[in-house]
Structure formats: C-alpha cells, structure tokens
Amino acid sequence: RNVLYIVVGIVTFIGLITSLVTSYRATNYDDGESQASGIRQRPTRLKTWFRRKFLLPALFGRKHVQPLGYYQFPTRGQTLMVVGYVLLNIVFLATDFPGDGRTIKTLSDRAGHLAVVNMPLYFLFAGRNNILIWVTSWPQRDFQVFHKWIARVSTLEAIIHSAGYGYVAAQGREYTLESALEATVVVSAMLLFSVMSARKHCYELFLAVHILCAILFLVFLYHHLKDMPHHYTIYVGICSGIWALDRVLRVARLVITNKNGKHTARARIIPHTSTILLAVYPNIEDVGFAPGAHYFLYFPDKWCFWESHPFTALSWRPTGPNLTRAPPKPHKGIQKMRIVTTSSARRGPQRAKLTFLIHPRKGMTRDLLNRLQASPHQSLDMPVLLEGPYGIARPVQAFPTVVIIAGGVGISTALPYLQQQMSPNRGEITRRFLLIWSVRDGIMAQKILASINSLGLSFRSDVELKLFITRAKDGDVFRFPIGVKVRYRRPKIERTILREARSRIPGTPMAVVACGGAAVVDCARKGAVMALKKAAGRRGMGEIVYWEEGYGW
C-alpha cells in the first residue's frame, strides 16, 4: 500500500516541479536575454520528441475529447500513467504466491487489501476542492480520468475478493460474506451507471445515484471491516473525511461568496439564437475573477434549488464611479420566483457585473431556456448563488507568442486573456497574440464582441482577432469592432498553429490555449503536436506549451 501512495506522490511531485518552473518563467522571463542567447527557453530534442510522441497526442488518431463510439479515450500521457498504475496493481496482486495450496485465499486477501487501499485516491480525485489541482496545475479533467480508472481497478479487485471468498466458502469453510457482497454489488452498480451516455443524457440522476451508492458502499464496507485486524476501517474514515471536507469547503465558498445574500441576475436570450447571456450583479466587491475562472451557479427560485452547474466567466466589471442603470424590478404579473433582490436606486455608481455565456443542453440549462422563451421579452430577472471561483489562470503573459483557439461558448475562456493583453497594465513580453474564434452564428459574435469595441483593437500591432462564422446565411449583415478579421468558413486550426510556431521570434517559447467544444480542442491538440514535430526542439526553435479547456462530458 505504501508503494502505491509513493508512486502517486512521485507523480504529484513531478507535476509540482513543472508548475513551479512555469510560474517562475511567468514572473522572471527576460525577453532581451532570451533573444540574445536563445538558450534559456529552448527545449532539448529528446524532451520535445517525448512530448509529441508519448504525452500530448490523443491515444488513437486525433480524437480525445470527442468520443470514439461511446467512449472517450485518454491522451497518451494519461494512458501511460493509467497503464503504469494498473500494472503496479497487477504485480502486487498476482506475483509471489506461497506454495501452501492457499492460492485462492491469498489472491482474495490481496485483492481486498488493494481495493481498500485504492479508495482514498479515487475519493480525493473526484472532489472539486482536490488540493492536487492547485499543487500540479493540472486541469480537473485529468484527475477525473485518474478517478475513473482507479475506481475501475478497485471495483475489479473487490469483485475478485468477493468471488474468491465465495469460492472458499463453497468449499465448506465459514466466512461472513453478507456485507462484503453488498458493498461489491453497490460499487459495481455505481460503476455501471457511470458510463458516458448516462452522464450525458441524465446527469442529475447519475449524480444522485452516484452519491447514494457511495454512501451505501462506505456503510456496508465499514460493517465488513470493523471486526478485522490491521485497522482497515481507517480507510473508510479517510474516505468519509475527504468527502465531508469537500462538501464543507463547498459550503464555505458559498457562504463567503454569498455572505450578503442572493445576487441579482438577469438572463436573456441572444436574439435569433438559443444562447443565453447571464449577467450576475454581485453584492460583494470581489468574486475572485481571473481568466479561466469558473463558478458553480445555483438558482434558488427553482424547486430543485440544490442543483448547480459550472460555467466559465466571460467577463468581470468591477464597481466604478460611472452611472449605470440597475436591473428593473419585475412586473407584478411575473411569478414570485423571479423577484430580484436589488437596491432601491434606479441609477447609481457602476455596479459590479459578472457575465456568463450559456449554451443550453439538458436539465437545468434547458429549463432556463424554456422559461426565457416563455417570458414576454425573452428576459428574466432572478436570484443566483455563486460557488467559486475554481480553475487555474494560465500564465500566457510569460510567452512572446500566444495562440488561443476558441469554439462557440469557449470564448468565455479566451476573451479574458484578450482583455488582459489589451489592458494598459499588461506586461511587455507578449509580442504576438492571436485569437481564433469559430462560431456558428454571427449574431452571438456580434453581441459578445461589442464589449471590446472600446479596447482599440485596430490600433494594436501585437493583437489579432480572427472570427470564423461557419453557418452564415445569404443576406446576413453583421457589425463588428474595427480590427476584427471576419471569415465565412471553418478555420484551419492545425495549419494556423504550425504557421505561428514557424514564424515566431527564433528561440522564444509559444503558448497554445484551446477552449470550446470537442472538435475544436481536438484539432488544436493535433496542431500543437504538428508544431512540436516541425517547429520545436531543433536549433533556434523555442518551446511550445499546450493548455486545454475542453467543454464536454
């Protein structure tokens, strides 16, 4: 058991070192020194070869976030860690058996031991407040992959344990199997109901079943282990503590972010689309916003008020001296659930505003869309609770060349980085900032880009924004800020990344950030791999870093 934890600790330590190196570069990068020597940021050929062959690519072809059939395959880097962990469990389970004829019992004991030892890991990796996310700067999606695979391994070991002792009991020996069998059945049912189709089509039901099964599993397991030696019940206590601590931290975030009560929010449908623009007017000065931050939103006016879903914040406007109109009070004819907690003033100092872009799917977001479509002006005022922020701001300001690929509502991740680059307080390292935004409907792009009209995009030589509208109709007329380059086709994402990698300042690093739907981020990943192959790791070529914020299941 110690070896399993040591291996996880080593991997975490590597992630920590990588994160610290990236953070150091973000705060200590010397652009003049880099251009003069070309050595500091230049990766070795071996490192680049290993990243493009074994870490970054999708496992098969180009699909990673996109499912192959009914399954999402991990990246090659994730696969290496998963396979290594599985092999380690196999070695502990199936080697060095005693020659006393007790092979089945020994195998069952080992399987039960490993099943219990693996538990704290997959409980930790499942939480929103997993401390390893902040230690390693790895996205939560990576830990979700590890959570799934460790849980699968542990469940298989539990099945082997129960089946083995069932066989031993059938030979005439007396063993208490009831609680063990119940725990095994519950955890197996939880695993079967966690397939992607269940998560995608009935997420709230999946979540409720998952939580209920986890509680039942711990209860049955405790009764199975309480009379055994070696203090195995401590693992049940650790898992219960991890689960409880995550819930306590969630509640703490809710209390801190909503300490003055519910926030005012206005939701409206962007005309001629099904996309929802949600503006939240916080009643506190600071909500911890940073590029890439996401919040879990609760709508307490719904009967299922406990439901929450994560949304990436599109923009943040702090309070200011300028006058702004407060959201109007709802008409008497509107249901009570839509009453807004606002100040009595109709006009006053500029209110803080946190904006979200929501693409409705099923469940809570579909219900919100239906309510908006049924309202007179396709607009509703409502109370909202915020939990967050979560997520990690990538240090793109440390890179002379930055390429961000956004698809659809993925602009929520990309736009704050653009505004950061356009800010007067930005650093002077980034010399080339390219944002590629692919969107189906120009109406949504027109609405969102209107917010950057005052940034002076056309007067900046270091910033380029290319908008690709993929489903424009004849006769469509759009108005975009001066400086936005518009194309009516799909972007050639892979070629764009490779071209930028080849044309950057020699010897300088480049950051690629992908955010959006599955197809967009998978193309960006493939483009980053191509750039590593053809424009990195050689003489005079700098490093290429890839970060992904995929929206999927």
Q: What is the pLDDT of residue 276?
A: 94
pLDDT at 365 over 60: yes
**pLDDT (mean) for 438-443:** 91
Q: Which position has the higher pLDDT, 29 or 478?
A: 478
Is residue 114 predicted with pLDDT exceeding 70? yes
| Rounded Cα–Cα distance for residues 394 and 383 (Å) | 31
Radius of gyration from C-alpha coordinates of the chain: 26
The dihedral formed by the CA atoms of 22, 28, 29 and 30, expressed in degrees to the nearest 10: -160
Residue 346 pLDDT exceeds 90: no
pLDDT at 537 over 80: no
Which range (29-43, 162-176, 285-299, 457-471) has the least confidence? 29-43
The string of pLDDT tens digits covering residues 228-271 is 877 889 999 999 999 999 999 999 999 999 999 999 999 999 98
Backbone φ, ψ for residue 296 (5° rounding): -90, 125
Predicted pLDDT of residue 471: 85
pLDDT at 478 over 90: no
260-329+337-390 placed in CATH 3.30.870.10: no
Percent of the chain residues topping a pLDDT of 70 = 85
Question: What distance in Å separates the CA atoms of residue 534 and residue 497, rounded to the nearest whole number?
Answer: 11
The secondary structure of 56-82 as a DSSP string is SSBSBTTBSSS-BTTBPPPBHHHHHHH
Sign of the Cα torsion 370, 373, 375, 379 reads: positive
Q: What is the mean pLDDT of residues 420-439?
A: 88
Q: Is there a contact between 113 and 228 (Cβ–Cβ < 8 Å)?
A: no
Indicate the burial class of 544 (C-beta count within 10 angstroms; 0-12, 13-18, 19 or more).
buried
- How confident is the model at residue 454, as a pLDDT? 60
Under 8 Å between Cβ of 216 and 189: no
Domain boundaries, the chain: 2-20+35-253, 260-329+337-390, 396-550
Mean pLDDT taken over the chain: 84
3-class secondary structure for 239-271?
A: HHHHHHHHHHHHHHHHHHHCCCCCEEEEEEECC
Measured distance between the N- and C-terminal CA atoms of the chain, rounded to whole angstroms: 32
Structure pTM? Answer: 0.87
Question: Of 418, 445, 444, whose CA–CA distance to 291 is shortest?
Answer: 418
Cis peptide before 389 (omega within 30 of 0): yes
Distance CA 97, CA 106 (A): 7
Lowest mean pLDDT among 77-86, 121-130, 189-198, 272-281: 189-198
Do 396-550 and 260-329+337-390 have the same topology in CATH? no
Whether residue 292 contacts residue 411, with contact meaning beta carbons closer than 8 Å, is answered with no
Of the listed ranges 90-94, 225-229, 449-453, 512-516, the least confidently predicted one is 449-453
The arrangement of secondary structure in 396-550, i.e. its CATH architecture, is 3-Layer(aba) Sandwich (3.40)
Residue 534 Cα distances to 287, 528, 529, 538, angstroms = 42, 10, 9, 9
Give one DSSP letter per residue of 478-545, joined into a string.
Answer: ----TTEEEESS---HHHHHHHHHHHSPTT--EEEEEEESHHHHHHHHHHHHHHHHHHSSSTT---EE
Instruction: Say if residue 214's pLDDT is above 70.
Output: yes
DSSP 300-345: TTSSSTT-EEEEEEEEEE--EEEEEEPPPPPPTTS-GGG-----S-
More confident residue, 323 or 545: 545
pLDDT at position 98, please? 72
Helix, strand and coil in the chain, % to nearest 5: 50, 20, 30
Helices (H), 139-292: 140-170, 178-192, 196-201, 203-225, 233-257
Who wins on pLDDT, 260 or 202?
Answer: 260
- Residue 270 and residue 444 in contact, taking contact as beta carbons nearer than 8 Å: yes
Per-residue pLDDT band for 219 (boundaries 50, 70, 90) equals: very high
* pLDDT the model gives residue 540: 56
Q: 325 forms bridges with which residues in the sheet?
A: 347
- 549 or 536, which is more confident? 549
Distance CA 21, CA 349 (A): 42
- Is the pLDDT higher at 227 or at 385? 385
Instruction: Answer yes or no: is pLDDT of 65 > 80.
Output: yes
Say which residue the tokens 């191509």 belong to. 530
